[in-house]
């Protein structure tokens, strides 16, 4: 938790995750790390994933309570996080959509559609932001 600056880091997801061919893997202690881009300035949050064909890992928008996918080229998974970095909602959004604001949301994670399920990002999961 805390304030971050635009840059890079890692998203660490604690809880269960799905490994293809192996089913559910439990990982509450060790966590699962994913490359992360951090967008905290107005300019970086406004640009987000616009103009890209994909993303390796995830993008953190902070502060943020809602997102849109206008002018995006690919569908995305969106996870809304509360101030304690707990996932309060996860949605998959097609391009050209407007997401509903989440009252308790303080941060939003975006990734390519389908990625978050494999990482174990689901309602109630806890995540950590590790800055490089």
From residue 56, give the alpha-carbon distance in Å to each of 53, 95, 115.
10, 18, 10
Q: Give yes or no for residue 2 having a pLDDT over 60.
A: no
Count of C-beta atoms within a 10 Å radius of residue 7: 13
Q: Give yes or no for residue 60 having a pLDDT over 50.
A: yes
The tens digit of pLDDT for each residue in 7-59 reads 999 999 997 665 655 555 554 456 889 999 999 999 999 999 999 999 999 99
Please state the separation of Cα 128 from the chain's center in Å: 11
Is the pTM here over 0.85, yes or no?
Answer: yes
């Amino acid at each position: 938790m805390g304030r971050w600056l635009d840059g890079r880091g890692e998203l660490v997801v604690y809880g269960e995750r799905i490994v293809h061919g192996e089913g559910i893997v439990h990982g509450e202690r060790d966590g699962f790390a994913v490359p992360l881009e951090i967008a905290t300035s107005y300019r970086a949050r406004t640009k987000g994933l616009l103009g890209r064909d994909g993303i390796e890992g995830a993008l953190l928008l902070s502060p943020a309570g809602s997102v849109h996918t206008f002018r995006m080229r690919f569908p995305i998974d969106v996870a809304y996080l509360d101030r304690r970095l707990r996932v309060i909602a996860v949605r998959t959004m097609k391009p050209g959509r407007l997401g509903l604001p989440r009252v308790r949301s303080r941060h939003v994670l975006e990734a390519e559609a389908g990625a978050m399920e494999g990482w174990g990002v689901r309602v109630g999961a806890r995540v950590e932001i590790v800055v490089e």
